[in-house]
Amino acid sequence: MDPYQFTKMVGLSTGEKHFIWGGIAQDLRSDGRQRLHYRPISVETGVIPQANGSARVRIGATDVIASIKAELGKPSMHQPGKGKISIFVDCSPTAAPMFEGRGGEELSTELAVALQRCLLGGKSGAGAGIDLSSLIVTEGKICWDLYIDGLVVSSDGNLLDALGAAIKAALSNTGIPKVNVDLGPSPDDQPEVNVSDEEFLQFDTSGVPVIVTLTKVGRHYIVDATSDEESQMSSAVSVSVNRHGHICGLTKRGGAGLDPSVIMDMISVGKHVSEQLITVLDSEISAAEASATD
Amino acid sequence: MMYSDIGRLNCNISYTTFSTSIRGQGSDNKEFSAMLHKALEGSIILESFPKTTVDVFALVLESGGSDLPVIISCASLALADAGIMMYDIVSSVSVTCIGKNLIIDPTSEEEDHQDASFLISCMPSRNEVTQLTLTGEWTTAKVHEAMELCIDACSKLGDIMRSCLKEAASTLQ
Amino acid sequence: MRELQVGLNQTQKVRLQSALRQLEELSSRVSNSSTASVTVADTIPVNLEDGVLKGHGTTEHNGEVVATLCGVVERVNKLVYVRTLRARYKPEIGDIIVGRVIEVAPKRWRLEINFSQDAVLMLSSMNLPDGIQRRRTAVDELNMRSIFEENNVICAEVRGFQHDGSLHLQARSQKYGKLERGQLLTVPPYLVKRRKQHFHYLEQYGVDLILGCNGFIWVGEHIEANEDEMMIDNKSEETGKPDLKFTALEMQEKAFTPFVTRRNICLIANAVRVLSVLGFNLSLEVIIDTVEASSSLNLDIKDMLGAEFCVLTAEREVKRRITLIKKKC
């Protein structure tokens, strides 16, 4: 079952649907935006003191929080030189009535999978937004396990882009404690670990991509769709793009098929939009960091 | 279940315990099931059977790489065989990128060492892409190359699937 | 203050805070001591010897009148009650409301109107499209969906409460009925004050604005209320269906709201959004004033939802209220 069919339950009358379609065709959407305009984005960092890093991103009425926790763990057998990252998403029942009970679960998993695909790169770790080898403490023995949790507080469409932005902001807010390891005399000994609570290592977040979702309604596609607009979509393509303009992941949702040339077109538009989004996010994140240290 | 004036599609993928080299290590089939659903739903004319559910169950007997594309193509064949109204059959192909090389239809070992992956499922006769996922870092030129390679492969695979269905139909008659 | 969805920079924050402080001072100057705000379990000072009627949101505890709601204490002669600020809509007879049909039931439609229960519009309490007064037949009942379907946005009037406590509506005039070609906004109901006029035809913009007392606000293309109305409705319904067929798409594009009107609809809708974010009462004058302010600044429509315009609107409201007070003096 398509989790997005829940969003289709948002009842709109034929007249309102027609109005939305017309707005997208005439390049003037219901809130005055053009097809490739985002709603105002606001970023707040350090919202959860318990976490190693956190951020809250609001895009219009969509409100999400990302928190990052780091725990010491053991690297996997296959990749002894790398740390681990897991991404989870939770949809709060307060965000929308359909998230009550188990309703939000499927959407949560879909969002988590899409985020993993967009941020974590290929199986070998190449092209990942976060360099997994920077999470290693002692090769084959100790590494950092990074738990990224996204929480949807309020939902008005475009959750994936918002979560991607929140994770990017949270990562730049994350400090990983410095660790001193005393390896025992023999390799089988359990190493002694000292976690510093004063010194922190900042993450290099320059490689973290942003996610741009293009939603196709009628013959046109739009960015940053509200839930009303999402209820009218035939399909949507989410592209994650990094600072170099390289594509780091892509997912398509919605049932309708797309012509390959349309997809290529959407990718290039997504790339173009991502440049602006990266600039906006960067300035918002640095402003948020500055106000957080005040 | 709630009333629906269009049909529903329900997909489920499971792995046998002996399908992988280490026993009981099938991939995350919940995620796969969702992907299968998305790949197929665009091809089925769901309006043609309201208040009805179509269940697609896929059981992977032996996993040797490119599991999902094979499952998708196979499920589409099964749907056609079951007499479900469809716009077109869905053929699916995946490509793995190792270093600078694109490898089509990768094996498990190749998948384990992949730097980037590309999966496409499309309806060859209508030239429409129903599902597309991409991981790892890609340049636009590379995406173009992979896309062309896959679309070509999909249409070839589609032809084989088509002749297969025809053969089956002729033996029945 | 309600949390704003926009990111304010430092100077904007300071400006907004000072504007809001001024507004607070102004309102405390205007109102007298009787409008004290209370929270749950606060004692409401009353003179028990005069005899007090305890109204909504109050109870008696140890010989004192105690509030059971958060809000403002209102006194009418002997009656003391608490008026809540942020709650669901409380209907009063004669209110004009905008609602959404959620169910077509036998002889009635059920509507969501932001009340604690669904409102009911009986088939018999509305004028039929042919305009003839007669008994409703079984055929009429079968054709109910041709009047209103599920999810339709409609406008009606509160008729009153039935014996069983359900809320009934009526739509006995051409001005009531289905609303199409526009957008529905929802704001907290207390922002819409009851007035003589809730239907507004903004001629210079070609836009209909309906301020429903329940906080549902309709901004849409102007439609002449006449006999042809139903025919227009039927036509737009045919083309309005989001059909994926190409020819239908082209047909549809011809039927879309004209660009200029759409611009105006978006302008007015965004003015309402800004005002409701700031928590200002929505009256026609203030809305038009906000729209004009944005056009005089040559703002892009979408920038009306940005931080700067939000602060500007707050500052303009301060000025407006100061002039109002001066006029009174």
> Is A254 in the C-facing interface, judged by CB distances under 8 Å?
no
Residue C286 has what pLDDT?
92
C contact residues 99-118, partner A, Cβ 8 Å cutoff: 100, 102
Chain A residues whose beta carbon lies within 8 Å of the beta carbon of residue C300: 32
Q: How far apart are CA A258 and CA A236, in angstroms?
A: 10
Say how many C-beta atoms besides its own lie within 10 A of residue A200's C-beta.
14
The DSSP secondary structure of B126-166, one letter per residue, reads TTEEEEEEEEEEE-HHHHHHHHHHHHHHHHHHHHHHHHHHH
Chain A residues whose beta carbon lies within 8 Å of the beta carbon of residue C249: 218-219
A-interface mutation test, from B100, B135, B155, most A Cβ less than 10 A away: B135
Closest by CA position to B115, among listed A121, A251, A84: A121
Say how many C-beta atoms besides its own lie within 10 A of residue A252's C-beta.
26
Mean pLDDT (whole number) for A202-217: 88
Cα of B171 to nearest chain A Cα, Å:
32
Is residue A82 a contact partner of residue A136, using CB atoms and an 8 Å limit? yes
Report yes or no on chains B and C touching (3+ CB pairs under 8 A): no
A contact residues 83-112, partner B, Cβ 8 Å cutoff: 106, 109-110
Cα of B166 to nearest chain A Cα, Å:
25
Chain A residues whose beta carbon lies within 8 Å of the beta carbon of residue B138: 127, 246-248
Is residue A26 a contact partner of residue C259, using CB atoms and an 8 Å limit? yes
Cross-chain Cβ contact C183/A30 below 8 Å: yes
Quick: pLDDT tens for A233-246: 888 999 999 888 88
Q: How far from B139 is each of A117, A122, C63, C181, CA to CA, in Å? A: 16, 14, 78, 43
Nearest CA in chain C to A39: C302
- When the candidates are 1.10.3720.10, 2.40.50.100, 3.30.420.480, 3.10.20.30, the CATH number that belongs to C34-87 is 2.40.50.100
> Is C263 in the A-facing interface, judged by CB distances under 8 Å?
yes
Number of cross-chain residue pairs from A and B with Cβ atoms under 8 Å apart:
118
B contact residues 43-72, partner A, Cβ 8 Å cutoff: 43
Is residue B37 a contact partner of residue A2, using CB atoms and an 8 Å limit? yes
Could you say which DSSP state residue C4 is in? P
Cross-chain Cβ contact A33/C9 below 8 Å: no
Q: How far apart are CA C303 and CA C295, in angstroms?
A: 11
Q: What is the CATH number of domain A21-293?
A: 3.30.230.70
Chain B residues whose beta carbon lies within 8 Å of the beta carbon of residue A268: 140
Neighbours of chain C (3+ CB pairs under 8 A): A
What strands lie across the sheet with C79-83, from one edge to the other? C37-38, C71-76, C79-83, C53-54
Closest by CA position to B107, among listed B148, B69, B150, B64: B64
Q: How far apart are CA B130 and CA B135, in angstroms?
A: 17
Residue B173 has what pLDDT?
73
Cross-chain Cβ contact A122/B136 below 8 Å: yes
Nearest CA in chain B to A6: B2
Instruction: Return mean pLDDT, chain A.
Output: 85
The DSSP secondary structure of C315-327, one letter per residue, reads HHHHHHHHHHHHH
Is residue C40 a contact partner of residue C68, using CB atoms and an 8 Å limit? yes
Q: In the structure, what pLDDT confidence band is assigned to residue B1 with cuts at 50, 70 and 90?
A: low
Please check whether residue B3 lies inside any domain of the structure.
Answer: no
Give me the sign of the Cα torsion angle A181, A183, A184, A190: positive
Please check whether residue B87 lies inside any domain of the structure.
Answer: yes
Quick: pLDDT tens for A243-291: 888 888 899 988 788 889 999 999 999 999 999 999 999 998 888 888 7
> Is A253 in the B-facing interface, judged by CB distances under 8 Å?
yes
Q: Which domain holds residue B82?
A: 8-172
Neighbours of chain A (3+ CB pairs under 8 A): B, C
Q: How far apart are CA A100 and CA A93, in angstroms?
A: 5
Quick: pLDDT tens for A35-54: 999 998 989 999 998 899 99
- Spelled out in words, what is the top-level CATH class assigned to the domain C88-179? mainly beta
Q: Kindly report the length of chain C.
A: 329
Structure-block tokens of residue C77? 């002669």
Nearest CA in chain A to C249: A218
Could you tell me what percent of chain A has a pLDDT over 90?
A: 36
Residue B153 has what pLDDT?
94
Chain B residues whose beta carbon lies within 8 Å of the beta carbon of residue A257: 42-43, 87, 122-123, 126, 128-130
How many structural domains does chain B have? 1
What residue segments make up the domains of chain C, in order of their start? 1-30+181-329, 34-87, 88-179
Structure-block tokens of residue A181? 């390891």
Q: How far apart are CA C280 and CA A235, in angstroms?
A: 39
Please check whether residue B80 lies inside any domain of the structure.
Answer: yes
Chain A residues whose beta carbon lies within 8 Å of the beta carbon of residue B109: none
Q: What angle do CA C302, C304, C305 make, to 5 degrees?
A: 80
How far from chain centre, in Å, is Cα A160?
Answer: 6
Q: Do domains C34-87 and C88-179 have the same CATH topology?
A: yes
> Is C180 in the A-facing interface, judged by CB distances under 8 Å?
yes
Is residue C290 a contact partner of residue C281, using CB atoms and an 8 Å limit? no
Residue with tokens 């770790």: A125
User: ipTM more than 0.85?
Assistant: no
Query: Which of the residues in chain C have pLDDT under 50?
Result: 1-3, 33-34, 227-246
Cα of A246 to nearest chain B Cα, Å:
5
Is residue C96 a contact partner of residue C212, using CB atoms and an 8 Å limit? yes
Neighbours of chain B (3+ CB pairs under 8 A): A
> Is B160 in the A-facing interface, judged by CB distances under 8 Å?
no
Instruction: Return mean pLDDT, chain B.
Output: 89
The residue type of A266 is M
Which of A1, A106, A260 is the closest to B8 by Cβ? Answer: A1
Cα of C255 to nearest chain A Cα, Å:
9
Cross-chain Cβ contact A268/B140 below 8 Å: yes
Instruction: Return mean pLDDT, chain C.
Output: 83
> Is B143 in the A-facing interface, judged by CB distances under 8 Å?
yes
- Where helices occur in C44-184 by DSSP H, the ranges are 138-142, 144-147
Report yes or no on chains C and A touching (3+ CB pairs under 8 A): yes
Please check whether residue B1 lies inside any domain of the structure.
Answer: no
Quick: pLDDT tens for B46-97: 888 888 889 999 999 988 889 999 999 999 999 999 989 999 999 999 999 9
Cross-chain Cβ contact A113/B31 below 8 Å: yes
Q: How far apart are CA C219 and CA C182, in angstroms?
A: 6
Chain C residues whose beta carbon lies within 8 Å of the beta carbon of residue A218: 242, 249
Residue C238 has what pLDDT?
43
What is the value of pTM for the model shown? 0.86
Which of A126, A235, A252 is the closest to B137 by Cβ? Answer: A126
B-interface mutation test, from A120, A124, A261, most B Cβ less than 10 A away: A124
Residue A226 has what pLDDT?
92
